[in-house]
Amino acid sequence: MKDILLITPPFTQLNTPYPATAYLKGFLNTKNISAYQIDLGIEVILELFSKEGLQDVFQFVSLRVESRSEMSPNSSRIYSLQNEYIKTIDSVIAFLQGKQPTLARQICSGNFLPEASRFEQLDDMEYAFGSMGMQDKAKHLATLYLEDLSDFIVECIDENFGFSRYAERLGRSANSFDELYSELQKTTTFIDEITLRILKDRVEAVQPKLVLISVPFPGNLYSAFRCAQFIKANYTEIKISMGGGFPNTELRQLKDKRVFEFFDFITLDDGELPVELLHNFVSSSAVENQFKRTFLLENNEVVYKNNTLKHDYKQSEVGTPDYSDLLLDQYISVIEIANPMHSLWSDGRWNKLTMAHGCYWGKCTFCDISLDYIKIYEPIAAKILVDRMEELIAQTGENGFHFVDEAAPPALMREVALEILRRNLSVTWWTNIRFEKSFTQDLCLLLKLSGCIAVSGGLEVASNRLLELIKKGVTVEQVAQVTRNFTESGIMVHSYLMYGYPTQTVQETVDSLEMVRQLFEIGVLQSGFWHQFAMTAHSPVGINPEAYGVIPVTNEITFANNDVAFTDKTGIDHEKFSFGLKKSLFNYMHGICFDYDLQDWFDFKIPHTKIEPDFIQNALQKDINFTTKPNAKIIWTGGIPLVETFTKSKKGNSWVMIKLTFHQKTHSFEISIEEDKGRWLLEKLEILTVFDEKRTTFQQLKSDFESQFEDFELFWYSKPINTLKEFGLLTL
């Protein structure tokens, strides 16, 4: 028996739990409030895609479909091969859970998996994936196998089914609750029945006073309401609340009281304090009840209550996320498409953490910067963050981390990297960033040493005029330089790309594509994805559309409000560029077709680009910088060298030299230097490590050197020291 049951409804990700309930459970632990969490998404998937589950699927279809002629040829083929699917499904799921790695050889050898229409793309597999390893190739084939089954379920059982979303169309910008409400009056679907059967077992085992349903995306909304409807009908004493990303962005103007036939409360923004107060409410009989950012029904009217004097908790007070109760060893890794960054989303188990609440930039005009989750910026101290990493490694057995920041702050990333190195932790991590000029070559090297494998950031529209209008705070040239720094340090770079921003011309779309082509051709971008601009109600463009030349389509808002339909005063049909932009990018990501004329990607006439063919190349020309900020921190990340002395002679003069030989993981290198300066350098290298919490500055190093020798700059920019800089002497 627990006080609270935390639920993530179907469906989010197959490979790792969405972290909202784990964050909340970690907080509730600090308050000694007992809680149990479930990810209904993975539990439904595991029940559906099992031997018994597929037997039920095919039995259900046999009773429902009178004639095979009603099916498409593809579904008819899958139905005919049902015994092969039933026979192989448990082994395939176990393989994708990492439990039967030897199955990879059988999957790749052919004639093991039944194949339907998804396998028709296999002609392109070598082109898409190159010589990928056998495990990854088998994961991709197994993913196609599951997608074939998903297509069958969509056609023959439930048109709303999807691995990472369910009935998403019902949640997307549903200004009115009517359609979703009507859907909820219908009999439950085959997928609903599985969901509610699992839910019933958990509710009766946990016996909670309060159920919290986290709804991160529109694709979770329908199932959230189905779950709430079931609990209301069968367990009238339990109170139910909804929170998460969807209500935070979409339900801020909620007026429809029918919503409260399903939920008792809907909370907005950070959930810790609102949830604590809801727990107090259901646990006590206080006359004056306090709420934080909470919608509820009072006197048959929807009211918004924010009547507590308590402030939200600081990030240092919310505790470490707690992943207990979740089926961590049963998530499945899939490889869907040949996009390097997207594979990180769907392949492997990641512990999710946040470096900083909100966004330290908070100016981008397409972003929801008026909402608390962006607007309120609060970083976490590096030591606390790495403490939490160590706690999660101990709890989950996983040392992979995805920092789910809006934009991780460079200074904090530096401190976290140093703390990871100081504790000698072996971790793998990736995050989202802004392409800040702060990401110098040396900082990127430090991040790589600490375990950073990838970053994603917004280039958006690769046009300096539009980047300024977006208030992105970067230029195309700066993005090129930063992506170069990451790439050269061995960190993969993914870029979010945008088309159709207000006032964007056809010429700017073509020029933006040319910028992207050059970035991939030079090799400083490895992954990208084009998104068409969407206007949201809480962004500067949505709040003040006239200033950006767009005319919103306004509806009465009684339920959800986020994506706002609009017309652009330019009258340009940006949608028609979608296919060509995405097709060209797919080819660029695989290192081909850079010599194609941009016109070749489109079946309509486009203007010639006005971007010089060597624009990015010129932006990457390195100027040798002979200036260093006095307060820059100097850190040596290598080891202590082997030391030899030898005598050097020239024109009758001789002097003693030191040869320092450094052994690194993959290679060795050596430098030679005058003995006295070499001894000084050796002494400093022993101090300038990640363990030097005082952090020696450039000015301190210069002063120390010049107390014994002359002209520190001549020494600092000499060939031997420049060699050290290439191999781990960092200026931060």
> How confident is the model over 135-164, as pLDDT tens digits?
888 998 999 999 999 999 999 999 999 888
Is the pLDDT score of 578 beyond 90? yes
Strand order in 527-532's β-sheet? Answer: 351-353, 400-403, 428-433, 452-460, 492-499, 527-532
Question: In CATH, what number does 350-619 get?
Answer: 3.80.30.20
CB neighbours (10 Å) of residue 457?
23
pLDDT band at 48 (very low <50, low <70, confident <90, very high): very high
**DSSP classification of residue 260:** G
pLDDT band at 337 (very low <50, low <70, confident <90, very high): low
- Predicted local confidence at residue 617, as pLDDT: 95
**Position of tokens 């459970």?**
25
Q: Higher model confidence: residue 329 or residue 132?
A: 329
- Predicted local confidence at residue 131, as pLDDT: 54
Cβ atoms 33, 129 nearer than 8 A: no
Gap between the Cα atoms of 146 and 91, Å rounded: 12
Backbone angles phi, psi at 551, to 5 degrees: -115, 110
**Position of tokens 């050059």?**
518
**DSSP classification of residue 607:** P
- Predicted local confidence at residue 336, as pLDDT: 75
Token pair of 518 as six digits: 């050059």
Pairing of strands 492-499, 452-460: parallel
Cβ atoms 416, 355 nearer than 8 A: yes
Gap between the Cα atoms of 93 and 39, Å rounded: 17
Q: Where in the chain is the domain with CATH 3.80.30.20?
A: 350-619
Cβ atoms 346, 334 nearer than 8 A: yes
Is the pLDDT score of 461 beyond 60? yes
- Predicted local confidence at residue 568, as pLDDT: 87
Task: Read off the pLDDT of residues 51-107 as tens digits, 9 standing for 90 and up.
Answer: 999 999 999 999 887 767 789 999 999 999 999 999 999 999 999 999 999 999 999
Gap between the Cα atoms of 365 and 542, Å rounded: 9
Q: Higher model confidence: residue 165 or residue 360?
A: 360
Least confident piece of the model among 165-174, 252-261, 443-452, 629-638:
165-174
Is the pLDDT score of 360 beyond 80? yes
Distances (CA, A) of 27 to 31, 32, 265, 323, 670: 7, 9, 20, 12, 51
SS (H, E, C) 272-288: HHHHHHHHHHHHCCCCC
- Predicted local confidence at residue 1, as pLDDT: 87
Pairing of strands 400-403, 428-433: parallel
3-state secondary structure of 524: coil
- Predicted local confidence at residue 697, as pLDDT: 94
Task: Read off the pLDDT of residues 217-243 as tens digits, 9 standing for 90 and up.
Answer: 999 999 999 999 999 999 999 999 999
pLDDT band at 170 (very low <50, low <70, confident <90, very high): confident
Gap between the Cα atoms of 472 and 458, Å rounded: 9
Task: Read off the pLDDT of residues 662-674 as tens digits, 9 standing for 90 and up.
Answer: 998 888 999 999 9
- Predicted local confidence at residue 665, as pLDDT: 87
**DSSP classification of residue 563:** B
| CA-CA-CA-CA dihedral for 461, 466, 467, 468, to nearest 10 | 180
Gap between the Cα atoms of 543 and 526, Å rounded: 35
DSSP string, 180-219: HHHHHTSPPPHHHHHHHHHHHHHHHHH--SEEEEE--SGG
Question: Does the bond joining 11 to the residue before it have cis omega, within 30 degrees of 0?
Answer: yes
DSSP string, 326-360: S-GGG------SS-HHHHHHHSS--EEE-SEES-S
- Stated as kind and residue range, the H or E segment containing 645 is strand 642-650
- Predicted local confidence at residue 69, as pLDDT: 75
Average pLDDT of the chain, as a whole number: 93
Task: Read off the pLDDT of residues 668-727 as tens digits, 9 standing for 90 and up.
Answer: 999 999 999 999 999 999 999 999 888 899 999 999 999 999 999 999 999 999 999 999
Classify 710 in phi/psi space as left (phi over 0), alpha (psi -120 to 50) or beta.
beta
Q: Higher model confidence: residue 623 or residue 39?
A: 39
Task: Read off the pLDDT of residues 518-541 as tens digits, 9 standing for 90 and up.
Answer: 999 999 999 999 999 999 999 999
- The CB-side HSE value for 317 (13 A sphere, CA atoms) comes to 9
Angle, helix 190-206 to helix 40-48, in steps of 10 degrees: 130
Gap between the Cα atoms of 267 and 569, Å rounded: 37
pLDDT band at 466 (very low <50, low <70, confident <90, very high): very high
Name every residue whose Cβ is closer than 8 Å to that of residue 422 and which is 6 or more positions away in sequence: 690, 691
Task: Read off the pLDDT of residues 251-300 as tens digits, 9 standing for 90 and up.
Answer: 999 999 999 999 999 999 999 999 999 999 998 876 678 999 999 999 99
- pLDDT over 70, % of the chain: 97
pLDDT band at 168 (very low <50, low <70, confident <90, very high): confident
